[in-house]
Chain A
Amino acid sequence: MIWMRCGQPINGSMPERPDMNTLLVLPILIPFSTGLVALFFWRQPRLQGAISVGGCVALLISSLFLFASVWQGGIQAVTMGDWPAPFGIALVADVFASMMVVLAGITGLAVAVYALANIDAQRRAFGYHTFFHILLMGVCGAFLTGDVFNLYVWFEVMLIASFVLLALGGVASQLEGAVKYVTLNLISSAFFLAAAGILYGTVGTLNMADASLRLQTLQNPWVSNLLAMLFLVAFGIKAAIFPLFFWLPASYHTPPVAVSAVFAGLLTKVGVYALVRVFTLMFTSDVGFTHAVILVLAGTTMISGVFGAMVQKDFRRILSFHIVSQIGYMIMGLGMFTPLALAGSVFYIAHHILVKTNLFLVSGVVHRLRGTFELSSLGGLYRSAPLLSVVFLIPALSLAGIPPLSGFWAKFVLVQAGINAGGYTIVAVALVGGILTLFSMTKIWGEAFWKKEESGGGPEPPGVEVWTAGERVAYYVPIIVLAALTVSIGLTVAPLMDVALRAAAQLADPAAYVAAVLAGRP
């Protein structure tokens, strides 16, 4: 019964309660240990690959256990080092956080398998596997932490790991992208740090639950609004919302696909997650101002992203601009700030992580087949690789919101919530954005897959030798599994929708979160 002292709700009806102390830190410890073990075996690339995949399997399993215990036992919290709640660093898992950790596990596993074939020997030798897992650790840490400064630390961990992954290999275009990426993210970190400092100066705490209580009692609402705007800029840069998104399309298409896929799937979503967390827990006293700003930014982000994508000719650049536009949909639900709208956001984030990771992985297979990402020189893939075409079409149509795929339901819930709340303008913008997304996806489909291949147009593309069986498995299994997940979410909407609704209910009423964190308060 030792956990009684650790500030967790006691649930007498569950005798075989799992040890939350362990379960909550595992999603951080597993990637860390995996990266560490990979570091020791840096001379044996094959073994490293196996360790990396094994670590991701362990992460996925532990995240599922965490999710199950949160689903049954409610919000769980542990403070590091056994210090009482507002002083020690709290790790908190509610439905939203644990769902994100599960998604990180799925994405991590898919990309780790894919990387076995996609990452060259030189990049492995310089620590690809280690930094990939450090990145996953940062992502999971950011999802689970309940402390503003600790969140800052996880952002830095992610920034360092992602900078190494971006620059690894030292190709000129990669370095150019990496410099833009790092500069913009450092500016974001500076904003974040300033915001954390002012928050501490104002309310005297960095624990999010504690700060949430104290911000409500603040005399001057503009101090809270100022803080909210600082956090909005800091996380807005990370999440790539309008007008702070330009670093993303400038850098995401430069590294190998196994790197950019995990960036596209997970990294920007950490920014969105932080926005959702902060603007549902801490800054809810002046919703008429803060969330209205978010809603306007959501609309402009959607539109600027799709218009940016329309003029692009490169497979991955189109996808990168679409990340920006999709971020708009995710924060649209946050801006409307009703339980249904928040559920829409949560559903959208889950759907988008799977779909966007998959699209990037597919672009990598296309590159492997034809040696280029340039749409004008691609073509004829529908004839030569029919399976790949289907696997591309599923996430692409899902992204555009075609029923019955997952993206349709995500947009459906958001539009429904928008109509309920009377926000007809944002609904119209969202629908126009959806149509323009379809336009971009059909452009890729038409150019890369449907169009006849220009025969004899140029020299044989480099690096297109015969596929080995292992390579084929490593390339195809992740994309097929992710596509199957997309289809199954679309066909059986209820489970994920239940998760989203429950996550949204917890987000809309932070009392339970605050109580779980501060339960052991002296």
Chain B
Amino acid sequence: MRSVILSAATRLLLPLILLLSLFLLLRGHNEAGGGFVGGLVAAAGFVLHGIAHGIEASRRVLLVEPRILLGTGLLVAVVSGLLPLLSRKPFLTGLWIPGDVAVIGGLGTPMLFDVGVYLVVLGVVTMVVDTLAEE
């Protein structure tokens, strides 16, 4: 069932939802938010697009296969944990770039880890929804 209202609204909503998800991701380190919530919100955006335009169309909008997103996310998270090993600190130690960065506060490996989580959640949720939609 296609609805004109929904598909028109989605066109406006999807960018806003993705922007919100990025906002949640970046805000996450010290306040409510983070990679998990951000990823869920982004996935919700793509799911909404899927409901409005069909799963095929939303896959095209996503550009990458969910499986690859999932793998990349895990890879990013592992790399963020591995970086401290280079300076002989234990796995997963938070390293920060000294000084404040405008808007988001600070840049460091926990942030990178969150980006990984974001990608994993986005990948998993879209993968699950895709599979359910095929049934």
Decide whether A and B are members of one complex: yes
Which residues of A are interface residues toward B (Cβ below 8 A)?
2-3, 6, 19, 21-22, 25, 29, 32-33, 36, 39-40, 42, 78-82, 88
Rounded to whole Å, the gap between the CB of B87 and the closest CB of chain A is 8
B15: Cβ under 8 A from any A Cβ? no
Q: A21–B87 Cα gap in the complex (Å)?
A: 10
Given known A21-B85, A22-B85, A36-B78, contact A6–B90 (CB-CB < 8 A): yes
B11: Cβ under 8 A from any A Cβ? no
Instruction: Identify the interface centre among A25, A39, A81: most chain B CB within 10 Å of its CB.
Output: A81
Instruction: Identify the interface centre among A3, A19, A80, A82: most chain B CB within 10 Å of its CB.
Output: A82
Is the Cβ of A78 less than 8 Å from the Cβ of B90? yes
Q: A29–B91 Cα gap in the complex (Å)?
A: 10
B92: Cβ under 8 A from any A Cβ? yes
Rounded to whole Å, the gap between the CB of A375 and the closest CB of chain B is 41
Is the Cβ of B88 less than 8 Å from the Cβ of A25? no
A-chain residues with CB within 8 Å of residue B85 when the two chains form the complex: 19, 21-22, 25
Q: A82–B88 Cα gap in the complex (Å)?
A: 11
Is the Cβ of B88 less than 8 Å from the Cβ of A3? yes
Is the Cβ of B91 less than 8 Å from the Cβ of A80? yes
Q: Which of B78-105 contact A (CB under 8 A)?
A: 78, 82, 84-85, 87-94
Q: A36–B82 Cα gap in the complex (Å)?
A: 15
Given contacts A21-B88, A32-B78, A82-B93, 20 further A-B contacts (CB under 8 A): A6-B89, A6-B90, A19-B85, A21-B85, A21-B91, A22-B85, A25-B85, A36-B74, A36-B78, A39-B67, A39-B71, A40-B68, A78-B90, A78-B91, A79-B90, A80-B90, A81-B90, A81-B92, A81-B93, A81-B94
Given known A29-B78, A82-B93, contact A19–B88 (CB-CB < 8 A): yes
Which residue of B is nearest A29, CB measured?
B78
The secondary structure that dominates the B interface is helix
B-chain residues with CB within 8 Å of residue A79 when the two chains form the complex: 90
Is the Cβ of A2 less than 8 Å from the Cβ of B89? yes
B44: Cβ under 8 A from any A Cβ? no
Given known A32-B78, A36-B74, contact A25–B68 (CB-CB < 8 A): no
Rounded to whole Å, the gap between the CB of A385 and the closest CB of chain B is 41
The list of the 3 closest CB pairs from A to B, nearest first, reads: A82-B93, A2-B88, A25-B91
Given known A36-B71, A39-B67, A39-B71, contact A21–B78 (CB-CB < 8 A): no
Rounded to whole Å, the gap between the CB of B132 and the closest CB of chain A is 17
Q: A32–B75 Cα gap in the complex (Å)?
A: 10
B-chain residues with CB within 8 Å of residue A82 when the two chains form the complex: 84, 89-90, 93
A-chain residues with CB within 8 Å of residue B94 when the two chains form the complex: 81
A-chain residues with CB within 8 Å of residue B25 when the two chains form the complex: none
**B78 contacts which of A33, A39, A81 (Cβ < 8 Å)?**
A33
Given known A36-B78, A81-B94, contact A42–B67 (CB-CB < 8 A): yes
Which residues of B are interface residues toward A (Cβ below 8 A)?
67-68, 70-71, 74-75, 78, 82, 84-85, 87-94
Which residue of B is nearest A80, CB measured?
B92
25 contacts between A and B (CB under 8 A): A2-B87, A3-B88, A6-B89, A6-B90, A19-B85, A21-B85, A21-B88, A22-B85, A25-B85, A25-B91, A29-B82, A29-B91, A33-B78, A36-B71, A36-B74, A36-B78, A39-B71, A40-B71, A42-B67, A78-B90, A80-B90, A81-B91, A81-B94, A82-B90, A82-B93
Which residue of B is nearest A35, CB measured?
B74
Q: A82–B75 Cα gap in the complex (Å)?
A: 21
Q: A266–B68 Cα gap in the complex (Å)?
A: 30
Q: A19–B75 Cα gap in the complex (Å)?
A: 23
Q: A207–B81 Cα gap in the complex (Å)?
A: 21
Q: A42–B68 Cα gap in the complex (Å)?
A: 10
A-chain residues with CB within 8 Å of residue B87 when the two chains form the complex: 2
Q: A73–B71 Cα gap in the complex (Å)?
A: 37
Instruction: Identify the interface centre among B67, B75, B89: most chain A CB within 10 Å of its CB.
Output: B89
Which residue of A is nearest B72, CB measured?
A40
Rounded to whole Å, the gap between the CB of A138 and the closest CB of chain B is 15
B-chain residues with CB within 8 Å of residue A6 when the two chains form the complex: 89-90
Q: A146–B31 Cα gap in the complex (Å)?
A: 30
B-chain residues with CB within 8 Å of residue A19 when the two chains form the complex: 85, 88
Rounded to whole Å, the gap between the CB of A14 and the closest CB of chain B is 16
Rounded to whole Å, the gap between the CB of A130 and the closest CB of chain B is 9
B-chain residues with CB within 8 Å of residue A22 when the two chains form the complex: 85
Which residue of B is nearest A1, CB measured?
B88
A-chain residues with CB within 8 Å of residue B90 when the two chains form the complex: 6, 21, 78-82, 88
Rounded to whole Å, the gap between the CB of B43 and the closest CB of chain A is 19
Rounded to whole Å, the gap between the CB of B116 and the closest CB of chain A is 11
Rounded to whole Å, the gap between the CB of B14 and the closest CB of chain A is 28
